[in-house]
Amino acid sequence: MRGPGAAGERAGREDELISRESSWNANAESERLRRQFGILFPDPMLKVRGDGPPSPAGDVAHAVAEAEPGMVISRGRRVHLRTFTPTDLEHLARWAENPDLDRMVGSELLQLYKDVYEQDSSFFEAVLTDTTQIVLVVMANEGWPVPIGFVRLFNIHQSEGYAGIETVIGDARAARRGFGVQASRLMGYYGVDTLGLRRLEAKAYEYNALSINTLRRNGFTHEGTLRKATLRDGRYWDIMIFGILKDEIEEQRRRDRYLLPLGGVEGAVIESP
């Protein structure tokens, strides 16, 4: 059955590349998106995507601005994160039907879209207005013209300063390339900088070595285990709980060469993760 719309109001910003035929009323959404990202970013940063000094990263930014919907929120050397748009629902639908992805990640967002909303377009509005989560789309800077996955902060508790984080690389061809590692870091920096979070939490199934390694590479600490907490393939498995604190995120950022300004940096050298 179709799920109800989420309570609350989340802001957003109209993207000029959404077609006039889109069922999404961009004008109606523009004020909400402007409020959200106007608060998150000073006015000088609300400029045309791709502005900035000439550089390899700047060239990528310009190409992205011309080719894709949404607003770029954070940029790394191999991926960038942009806002979630109605056109992304077709990619969510494909990922939600992938049994291997469900087994390895068990994304509650994909399960909700598939089983509760039955892949209805109203899911976009529900996500946009849900004040307890932020969903950003993961785009590769080169090689993929379509989204390769998403990353989200969920169960956001701003007064206590913590949230869950989930990163899903839905395109199997993009797996094991370091995209998930970098996307998770960018979202972590976003949570600290714009939401004032002091702690992030994540889960991984005990058999998902890729997710476990990604979390450890990003500085997460294994804090506990929910023993035999999920049923998969006819048996019960542990769920491993990981966490990272703000000072650990900041220390990681001081050593990190992934992050780029939205317009790129002149002379930037792209390095492997």
The tens digit of pLDDT for each residue in 225-261 reads: 999 999 999 999 999 999 999 999 999 998 887 666 6
Place of tokens 């990604």: 214
Q: Which helix (H) or strand (E) holds 60?
A: helix 56-67
pLDDT at 18: 29
Residue 153 banded pLDDT, cuts 50, 70, 90: very high
* Cα atoms in the 13 Å half-sphere on the side-chain side of 114: 16
In a domain, residue 10? The reply is no
In a domain, residue 193? The reply is yes
The model scores a pTM over 0.75 = no
Domain of residue 64 covers: 26-260
The tens digit of pLDDT for each residue in 154-205 reads: 999 999 999 999 999 999 888 888 899 999 999 999 999 999 999 999 999 9
In a domain, residue 240? The reply is yes
Query: Does the pLDDT value for residue 73 go beyond 90?
Result: yes
Query: How many independent structural domains does the chain possess?
Result: 1
Query: Is the Cβ–Cβ distance between 180 and 172 less than 8 Å?
Result: no
> What are the respective helix, strand and coil percentages of the chain, to the nearest 5?
40, 25, 40
Nearest by Cα to 131 from 271, 32, 19: 32
CATH number at residue 62: 3.40.630.30
In a domain, residue 269? The reply is no
Nearest by Cα to 242 from 183, 166, 179: 166
Dihedral sign for Cα atoms in the order 202, 127, 247, 141? positive
Token representation of residue 83:
């806002």
pLDDT at 35: 43
